[in-house]
Structure 1
Amino acid sequence: MINRVVLVGRLTRDPEMRYTQSGIAVTRFTLACDRPFTGQDGKREADFIDCVVWRKQAENVAQYLKKGSMAGVDGRLQISSYEGQDGQRRYRAEVVADSVRFLEPRGASTQRDTAPAGDVFGGGESSGSGWGAAASSTSSQSSNSNKGFEADPFSGGGKIDLSDDDLPF
């Protein structure tokens, strides 16, 4: 049997971290994931999906993500039930995350609206490990070469010298 969920979306609010009685960290958050089509009114709709993550990953999510942050979640769907205050049985669907990927550098979600059109990373801080390959400059585009980025070879619009042996196909 397969129970696998992969999501990419933005957090709808700041993550909420708590600890169990045995001291294990658990963080809950909701991802807004755009649907691949528009509604009858021409607007794109979204699904709001509850997620839960445990242990060290829960602490990292609570520390580094906030409302508006883009994240990727890989996990499984879990349906649980409980009895509400009115005595009715309630059901809850949530994704239990095995892995949460931070898909933009720290600070980028607050700076994306003010960033120039060509600035993909929004000039946020570099965060080191845990942010995958996405790192950003702390001051200017010129320091990107020190952060693992190379200058864009296509930005000058000139001819690029490649031999057929360099192409993978």
Structure 2
Amino acid sequence: MNTVHLIGRLTSDPLITELESEHVVAKFNIAVDKVMSTERKEKLIEDGKPVANFPRVQAWGKQARLVEEYLTKGKMVGIVGELQTDVYENSDGEARYTTVVNASQIKFL
């Protein structure tokens, strides 16, 4: 089973890309708070460490158009989707992995 449920805020405006054959994709990151005690969160902030995760999300077709029209930096969204991991080779010949959430549902919160 490959299902992800996330709630977070957009960290920047979505990037909309028009592809060949009339396909469109919206790409954006969201900040998803880590679950932790207030004391732990304050300590991490004090130490300059992240208190959130920042998954990359992409939406296709009609969903991408809705993202383009309604979502901007700071807006809260609920995402349901699946993880997709790809591998590529960097300039040093080393394998690098990337993971993105392919959204199947986006809820504007």
SS of residue in 2 equivalent to 1:60:
helix
Q: In structure 1, give the amino acid aligned to 2:80.
A: D
Q: Which deviates more from structure 2 when the two are superposed, residues 28-37 or residues 39-48?
A: 39-48
The TM-score, its normalising length taken from structure 2, stands at 0.86
Matched, 1:99 2:102: no
Matched, 1:29 2:28: yes
Q: Which has the higher strand share?
A: 2
Gaps of 5+ in 1: 104-169
Match of 1:60 among 49, 62, 66: 66
Q: In structure 2, give the amino acid aligned to 1:81.
A: V
The TM-score, its normalising length taken from structure 1, stands at 0.56
Provide the rounded CA distance (Å) in 1 between the counterparts of 2:65 and 2:95: 31
CA offsets 1:95-148 (integer angstroms, 9 cap, x no match): 000011110xxxxxxxxxxxxxxxxxxxxxxxxxxxxxxxxxxxxxxxxxxxxx
Q: Identify if the C-alpha distance between structure 1 residues 22 and 87 changes in structure 2 by more than 3 Å, giving closer, same or farther.
A: farther
Gaps of 5+ in 2: none
Higher relative contact order (CA 8 A, sep 6+): 2
Provide the rounded CA distance (Å) in 2 between the counterparts of 1:60 and 1:40: 36
Partners of 2:59 and 2:102 within 8 A in 1 = yes
Q: Identify if the C-alpha distance between structure 1 residues 86 and 22 changes in structure 2 by more than 3 Å, giving closer, same or farther.
A: farther
Give the greater-gyration-radius structure (CA): 1
Measured on the aligned residues, the alpha-carbon RMSD in Å equals 1.6
Q: Which has the higher helix share?
A: 2
TM-superposed CA distance for 1:25, in Å, is 0.7
Provide the rounded CA distance (Å) in 2 between the counterparts of 1:86 and 1:18: 29
